[in-house]
Amino acid sequence: MELTHFDKTGAAIMVDVTEKPETLREAVARGEIHVTAETMSQILQGTAKKGDVLGVARIAGIMGVKKTSDLIPLCHPLPIGKVNIDFTADEDHLRVICTCTVKTAGQTGVEMEALTGVSTALLTIYDMCKAIDKHMEITGIHLERKSGGKSGLFVYREENHA
Amino acid sequence: MELTHFDKTGAAIMVDVTEKPETLREAVARGEIHVTAETMSQILQGTAKKGDVLGVARIAGIMGVKKTSDLIPLCHPLPIGKVNIDFTADEDHLRVICTCTVKTAGQTGVEMEALTGVSTALLTIYDMCKAIDKHMEITGIHLERKSGGKSGLFVYREENHA
Amino acid sequence: MELTHFDKTGAAIMVDVTEKPETLREAVARGEIHVTAETMSQILQGTAKKGDVLGVARIAGIMGVKKTSDLIPLCHPLPIGKVNIDFTADEDHLRVICTCTVKTAGQTGVEMEALTGVSTALLTIYDMCKAIDKHMEITGIHLERKSGGKSGLFVYREENHA
Amino acid sequence: MELTHFDKTGAAIMVDVTEKPETLREAVARGEIHVTAETMSQILQGTAKKGDVLGVARIAGIMGVKKTSDLIPLCHPLPIGKVNIDFTADEDHLRVICTCTVKTAGQTGVEMEALTGVSTALLTIYDMCKAIDKHMEITGIHLERKSGGKSGLFVYREENHA
Amino acid sequence: MELTHFDKTGAAIMVDVTEKPETLREAVARGEIHVTAETMSQILQGTAKKGDVLGVARIAGIMGVKKTSDLIPLCHPLPIGKVNIDFTADEDHLRVICTCTVKTAGQTGVEMEALTGVSTALLTIYDMCKAIDKHMEITGIHLERKSGGKSGLFVYREENHA
Amino acid sequence: MELTHFDKTGAAIMVDVTEKPETLREAVARGEIHVTAETMSQILQGTAKKGDVLGVARIAGIMGVKKTSDLIPLCHPLPIGKVNIDFTADEDHLRVICTCTVKTAGQTGVEMEALTGVSTALLTIYDMCKAIDKHMEITGIHLERKSGGKSGLFVYREENHA
């Protein structure tokens, strides 16, 4: 096994994908932000009426997906065919869970796009709530699922990590 | 306590900082990525000689800091006076810890810049290692320390969160 | 009277502002989009509950303000101290009116920033409604008010134009 | 009829176009800027010799087309196959008319690209002339024509709007 | 022979490539930076161990390739399938030679991408060494080779220029 | 003498400038592009009437200056107070000489901005003429002059390099 982002001399490269077929690919990433009870309450109020933290974070996440190849040095610029970002406010554990799904018909996968979407959305929640809560923590960002391309289906297994 | 990024009608706004004095501000953010033993070994080899994953991630993180206000919708564009990004490869816990320090002489704090630097650096490590490890997890991103400005010194307390 | 964005040979330049003092400046721009009754009804529904066209357009407008110097060739990059974007849905005239207010403590005015904020917000409304209405028209974009700097207060007079 | 940029829960999404065929698509947008007689005279002089306002605005418009998906949150990034921007200086009505034509071989239309090109070009004219005329107005921005894709030919009808 | 980036009236255009077939294309550009003996020594030390000037410049060059259509007004945005950047430190002539190879499966060539990659990499070397050497010179940037597309193979001939 | 863009461990950093005073700074960079007689003739025709290669390149160069800190990894984002770009078409030597002057009131110098302006302008000339001339060469890019800041006046001496 070796890192594909380096050539034989150890120099960083953007991997050649020009001869790979365009196939339908999808990636789902997930992550969460832990907040105080007060912050959770403010977020939930906004979702119901005005001051919509999650609405702003969703837009930031979608726009973040489109900036992936500008942020991650060796990432290929890709057509983006679909993005959606979902939030679950889990009051019991004082956390907001974010999932980002990205689809493309392209020559390489969109896992970095999905992960960047999750990261940007969670950072935006942080930004909007930081005036009342500086102990928030963004955590558990991982690739949940990935399909399409030569490597086929991947599903994250919790136990693989612990 | 209320979210400052909304006006009285609940509309998102970029907060007025024009009358705040320019003061010296610093923020330190921290986060980590959990990897397999094989990935850790590849990262450590690269740091010692060629195929330098952390070197690439450091550049991505520094450039990410400069893109913060482009990524986070209500964030002010700020002069950036200093950025550094440190990595600690913790072999015992199979994780790479990243800290990002940002300084500015500005009208508002740089905590979002430091957090964006950490996120971008960790996403870049993910990108470079994903060919050999799809179970990586980015975790524990938080503001470690912040100084300067009206609110003064902030230091993260672990227990505040758990 | 002459165009300041050209030198004596007629070559485009970015004007020298390095010796101008930093003063508090504010600009308000305004514009509107004309829509069908059906589109207006969809927009109003979203504002009240879900599917919030104006919420998305507001974020786009604020982010557009920050991209002004990247879009307008001879525009100076400026610190942006405050942005807010307001919408009035005028059902009688089937139009949504947008105003964008930008403040800075800088060496030159922010009228282009305010105008770019309005344009971007209105284009975003267009994008979100174009599936049901291709006859929308964006119209009446102008500088409503401007204060600060050597030239002092400016207020738009309707009659001056007609 | 419903807005396609929201899912069933009302959350903003980037629509899935991955299964749409790539077809040749073209869009033409149009808009205008109203100026004083003095400004019109300056613009016309520049076009003839030096101090070429419209030349600068044309470049800004073409570059603006390429930034569309970065400005409009739910817009797909698209390959851009052709852009041209035309200006007509209408001295009788003291206005400059701008049309922007964009072509692509893609999975979705380029009307937002054409509209963004027009807006950016007109804002640039504004910027270059604002030292001598603060009563300019950008107006009448609409989609003139669109062809290609499943929905086929669209032509703007003036009466549909008034 | 005429310049294709202008229409018949002399207005700048982005050329229509929508009907050109997608073919595999490759371009190699080359350039160099001349430095003092002291700077050369610092660069060589860094490549061997820490303070890796060329490693940073390589990342900057790869990221610069992806920004080409944002920098060059009439350049088409293209998928980028592969990028690599090589440096040769030529101690005898006190210069670092940079070559950048870009591949795409696209409708137009990638020579501007390769040239932009070389320029950005060399400017980055300049930036990193300018504290100790202000007499550096970036020179000899040209297209070395180009293949694919209707015009076929091009190879730079030294004598053609002198 | 040592490279300031690395810390003691050899890690790349953005240098701390937060405690440096804001002073008036100016930098002038210069470079040239060598072309065939046919290309030179086309460029000269355009400057006189329509098809203005140098007019487009000037706009690209000015916009390139504003992107410097986005392109060069360790470069500070700076306010830009003035930019102008001059071209001299030297028919005898079949070259176009470009100089770019940048001024700022800032905490660090603008030499990278001036050099990036020259590079972008020359690459744009290349792009616009490449259909008729693939043997162009961009050459002699260097810092001509720099003033302001602690290090004071710098003037390039030809002999220092040869």
Read off the pLDDT of residues A33-69 as tens digits, 9 standing for 90 and up: 999 999 999 999 876 556 799 999 999 999 999 999 9
Whether residues C127 and D5 touch (CB distance < 8 A) is answered with yes
Percent of all residues in chain D with a pLDDT value above 70, rounded to a whole number: 94
> CA-to-CA distance for A156 and A142, rounded, in angstroms?
8
How far A153 CA sits from the closest chain B CA (Å)?
Answer: 12
Region at D155 (left for phi over 0; alpha for psi -120 to 50; beta for the rest): beta
Q: Which of C13, C77, C107 sits opposite F66 (nearest CB)?
A: C77
Q: What's the pLDDT band for D125 if we cut at 50, 70, 90?
A: very high
Kindly tell me if the per-residue pLDDT of D90 is higher than 90.
yes
* pLDDT for position A65: 98
Percent of all residues in chain A with a pLDDT value above 70, rounded to a whole number: 94
Residue E152: Cβ-neighbour burial (10 angstroms; 0-12, 13-18, 19+) = exposed
List pLDDT tens digits, range F88-100.
Answer: 999 999 999 999 9
Spans in chain E with pLDDT lower than 50: 161-162
Kindly tell me if the per-residue pLDDT of F14 is higher than 80.
yes
Percent of all residues in chain E with a pLDDT value above 90, rounded to a whole number: 82
Give the residue from chain D lying closest to C11, CA to CA.
D51
Whether residues B142 and A137 touch (CB distance < 8 A) is answered with yes
How far F158 CA sits from the closest chain C CA (Å)?
Answer: 28
List pLDDT tens digits, range D17-76.
Answer: 999 999 999 999 999 999 999 999 999 987 655 679 999 999 999 999 999 999 999 999
The overall average pLDDT reported for chain B is 93
Better-predicted residue by pLDDT, D68 or A150: D68
Give the residue from chain E lying closest to B59, CA to CA.
E56
* pLDDT for position E24: 95
Catalytic (active-site) positions of D: 127
HEC readout, A80-108: CCEEEEEEEEECCCCEEEEEEEEEEEECC
Kindly tell me if the per-residue pLDDT of A149 is higher than 70.
yes
What residues of chain F lie within 8 A of the CB of B104, using their CB? 18
Q: Which of B62, B81, B82 sits opposite F12 (nearest CB)?
A: B62
ipTM: 0.95
> CA-to-CA distance for F5 and C123, rounded, in angstroms?
42
- Rounded to two decimals, the pTM is 0.96
The arithmetic mean of pLDDT across residues B29-51, rounded, is: 87
Report the 10 Å Cβ neighbour count for A22.
14
Whether residues E12 and D62 touch (CB distance < 8 A) is answered with yes
DSSP C116-150: HHHHHHHHHHHHHHTTT-S--EEEEEEEEEEE-ST
> CA-to-CA distance for E122 and E53, rounded, in angstroms?
11
Mutation target among E65, E108, E119 for the F interface, most CBs of F within 10 A = E119
The overall average pLDDT reported for chain D is 93
Kindly tell me if the per-residue pLDDT of F49 is higher than 80.
no
What residues of chain F lie within 8 A of the CB of E56, using their CB? 5, 12, 73-74
DSSP E128: H
Give the residue from chain F lying closest to D51, CA to CA.
F55
Residue C109 near chain B (CB below 8 Å): no
Name the neighbours of C, counting chains with at least 3 Cβ pairs within 8 A: A, B, D, F
Give the residue from chain F lying closest to C16, CA to CA.
F82
Percent of all residues in chain B with a pLDDT value above 70, rounded to a whole number: 94
> In chain D, what's the furthest Cα-to-Cα distance?
57
Q: Which of F12, F19, F107 sits opposite B59 (nearest CB)?
A: F12
List pLDDT tens digits, range B82-116.
Answer: 999 999 999 999 999 999 999 999 899 999 999 99
State whether CATH 3.40.50.12780 applies to domain F23-147. Answer: no
How far C160 CA sits from the closest chain B CA (Å)?
Answer: 32
Q: Spell out the long-range contacts of D153-156 with Cβ–Cβ below 8 A and sequence spacing 24 or more.
A: D154/C134, D156/C134, D156/C135
Hey, what CATH topology would domain A37-146 get?
A: Alpha-Beta Plaits (3.30.70)
Each residue's pLDDT, cut to its tens digit, for chain C (162 residues) gives 678 999 988 899 999 999 999 999 999 999 999 999 999 999 998 765 567 999 999 999 999 999 999 999 999 999 999 999 999 999 999 999 999 999 999 899 999 999 999 999 999 999 999 999 999 999 999 999 999 988 889 999 876 544
Portion 38-97 of A in contact with C at CB < 8 A: 52, 55-56, 59-60, 63
* pLDDT for position D118: 98
How far D139 CA sits from the closest chain C CA (Å)?
Answer: 4
Rg for chain E, CA atoms, rounded = 17
Q: Which of C24, C55, C82 sits opposite B14 (nearest CB)?
A: C82
List pLDDT tens digits, range F68-123.
Answer: 999 999 999 999 999 999 999 999 999 999 999 999 998 999 999 999 999 999 99
Q: For C28-148, CATH number? A: 3.30.70.640
CATH class of domain segment(s) D23-143: alpha beta
Q: Per-domain residue ranges for chain C? A: 28-148
| Contacts with C69 (C-beta within 8 Å, 6 or more apart), sequence order | C75, C76, C77, C78, F66
CB pairs under 8 A between D and E: 53
* pLDDT for position A30: 98
> CA-to-CA distance for A118 and A1, rounded, in angstroms?
28
* pLDDT for position A159: 65
